């Protein structure tokens, strides 16, 4: 087989690329119809993917958009797994909540210091 015609099961590729801890978890996501390959919903874990395909699927609380660069031969270490794909997600904006000031003095803070810390923390929650 040539490199252009090689395909790998989508559940196996998701497991190789370390998106899911087990292959059965990857298969459950695919079977539930939550995976799209090149914009088309896929419901079978045995669907074959090749380099150049774009996968869209939920992981944790976010939706991942991944472009396949290569097919993995094994489930290797994380750097090897990250070389299998390109992340097409837009960069995430970090929360701009200011850090709560911490007591930086020596020993235990006084009651006045603790009240100031509580007041500062409650201002951030509003």
Full pLDDT tens readout for the chain, 126 residues: 455 579 999 999 999 999 999 999 999 999 999 999 999 999 999 999 999 999 999 998 889 999 999 998 999 999 999 999 999 987 776 555 666 666 666 778 788 888 888 887 765 555
Q: What was the pLDDT predicted at 107?
A: 76
This prediction's pTM: 0.70
Q: Which of 49, 41, 39, 42 is nearest to 9 (CA)?
A: 49
Phi first, then psi: give them for residue 16, nearest 5 degrees.
-60, -40
Q: Could you tell me where the DSSP H helices lie in 20-76?
A: 23-31
- Helix, strand and coil content of the chain, in percent to the nearest 5, comes to 30, 20, 50
């Amino acid at each position: 087989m040539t490199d252009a015609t090689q395909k790998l099961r989508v559940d196996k590729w998701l497991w190789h690329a370390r998106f899911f801890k087990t292959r059965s978890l990857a298969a459950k996501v695919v079977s539930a119809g939550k995976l799209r390959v090149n914009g088309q919903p896929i419901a079978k874990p045995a669907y074959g993917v090749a380099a150049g395909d774009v996968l869209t699927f939920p992981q944790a609380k976010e939706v991942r958009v991944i472009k396949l660069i290569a097919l993995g031969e094994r489930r290797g270490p994380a750097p090897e797994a990250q070389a299998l794909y390109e992340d097409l997600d837009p960069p995430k904006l970090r929360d701009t909540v200011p850090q709560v000031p911490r007591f930086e003095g020596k020993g235990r803070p006084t009651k006045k210091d603790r009240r100031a810390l509580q007041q500062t923390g409650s201002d951030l929650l509003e």
